[in-house]
Amino acid sequence: MSEPASAPPLVHLYTDGGCSGNPGPGGWAFVLQHPSTGKALERSGGERETTNNRMELQAVIEGLSVLKRRSHVELFTDSVYVGKGLSEWMPKWKANGWRRREGSKWAPVKNEDLWRQLDELVAKHNVKYTRVAGHSGHPENDRCDELAVAAYQKYL
């Protein structure tokens, strides 16, 4: 049974980010696949001085940014930070004015600029987070890692 023509397309978004040192030179990468057509797109980039968590977030932002219309996105990442942020932490941060509890005090959310960008992009799509184990022989995750490492190596 086929879906109606108006149903948003299903895409698989594989992402990874990493650094040489943390902070240090960093890279991000994504592989975006359209299972129905077999088409794939991969991109990567880097920064001279950043953190691993920022690169993990940047990979997802870059991947979602290339989508031209509302889509069902299955996000595959080895980043627990991104996964928990999307599924558990972000709703609380937003409700608390992008602040989080640090002991008995309120503190700004780390990487708030990227989380806000991600929040805007996620609102445009139906995103499902799926965790994959890093460096475990998962072909697309391994490809993202390879691209991200290559992206930061130019800064070493």
- Which residues carry out catalysis? 16-17, 56, 78, 135, 145
- CA R_g for the chain: 16
Q: Say how far apart CA 77 and CA 17 lie, in whole Å.
A: 9
- C-alpha–C-alpha distance, residues 141 and 146, integer Å: 9
Q: Note whether 115 and 98 are within 8 A (CB).
A: yes
Q: Contact at 8 Å (CB) between 28 and 50?
A: no
**DSSP one-letter string for 21-37:** SSSEEEEEEEEEEETTT
Matching residue, tokens 């932002």: 61
